[in-house]
Amino acid sequence: MSKFRALFKKWLWRYIKYNIVGLAVFILNIGIYLIIFPSLGEWSYIVVSVNGGIIEFALIAYINRTKYGVIFDSRTSNDSNST
């Protein structure tokens, strides 16, 4: 049971971090949308969508390389034999 609890805490922490990143990107993109809407109109939605995808990917990649932990596991060379 203790192993399951540790695994659950690990996944819960990853879920929380992923949602914090998503919320930060969402808030930033709302600000960008409000700024560029008067000049681009409906096209600003496309700009904000692309921008959000790029920023979220970059933030997740950054968090995965820092001491704050990994959001998504990546396969290492040790795991390649387990397939």
pLDDT grade for 80, boundaries at 50, 70 and 90: very low
What is the Cα–Cα distance from 71 to 21, expressed in whole angstroms?
10
The pLDDT score that the predictor gives to residue 74 is 56
pLDDT digits (tens, 9 = 90+) for 10-40: 888 888 888 988 899 999 999 999 999 999 9
Residues 38-50: tens digit of each pLDDT: 999 999 999 999 9
Judge whether residue 81 has pLDDT over 60.
Answer: no
Distance separating the N- and C-terminal Cα atoms of the chain:
26
This prediction's pTM: 0.67
The CA distance from 6 to 54, in Å, is: 32
Tokens 């540790």 map to which residue?
6
